[in-house]
Structures are given as C-alpha cells and as structure tokens.
Amino acid sequence: MGEEFHAVLKLITGEEIFALVSVDENDGDSIIMLSNPVIMKMMQSPAGQYVKVKPWLELPDQDLFLIKYDKIVTMSEVTDSQMIKFYTRYLNEDDVDIEMDGKVSLNDKMGLLTTVEDARKSLESIFKNNIDKPNNP
C-alpha cells in the first residue's frame, strides 16, 4: 500500500470526491483506495461563505472504498490546509448531530440556551411575579 494523501477525484460519472487516498499496485493494475470519501461544496449565504460536507455514499457502513484507475478522469493532491481542516473536522465531529436530511441539531455550544416551551414558561413566571408586586414610586 502506498503513501496516503488528501485528494480530489473527478470520476467518469461526473462526481467530485474529496478523500484520504492511497494507491495500491495490484499485479500491475493500480487500485485507488478511498478512506471516508465525501462531497464538499462551497456555498454562499448572506452571512458569508461556508462549506457543505456530506458522505459520498449515504447508506454503506464502510469507510474504505476501492476504485480502479479507469473510472477516474483526474485526481489532484490537496495541500490546502483549510480544506483538509474542514474534512478532518467533519470526520471527528462528535458534539454535532447531523440528521439524515442534512440539518444540524442545535446544542448549547451553538447558542441554544433553552427550548421555546421552557423560555415561554420562564417569561410567563417573570410576568406574573411583576404583576403581583405593587409599584412603589
């Protein structure tokens, strides 16, 4: 097995994949091994630019895939530390729950302080306590 490197691959199907890649020479027929392949898209929003990362294949439980050279149009090594950082963060993200539809569940690290129901109860309690107290000028 060859040295591992991060790369972007363009397949004959038109897909663009980002993965940790290793080239394996198998009886003169090279096989590309992809570890945790993902699809990365640069997105624009009014708040700025962000990267959307999703798995290349949604259903498999495996993280290692083999592709023959003849299925690849081009492959380019990635040395951009920002792209590698996004990829690594996606793989190591334990505190963010990514739902099946791509939405991210909020947590206290993302600014979630309470649920709407709990906030409503708290505000009602404050309001009721202020009404019960007479105003002394």
The residue type found at 55 is: P
Greater model confidence, 48 or 57: 57
pTM of the predicted structure, to 2 decimals:
0.60
Q: Which domains are assigned to the chain? A: 5-132 (2.30.30.100)
User: Terminus-to-terminus CA distance in the chain, angstroms?
Assistant: 82
Give dist(CA 42, CA 17) in Å, integer. Answer: 13
> Cα 100 vs. chain centroid, distance in angstroms?
12
* Residue-level pLDDT at 108: 60
Which of 1-5, 42-46, 60-64, 96-100 is the least confident region? 96-100
**Contact between 39 and 18 (Cβ < 8 Å):** yes
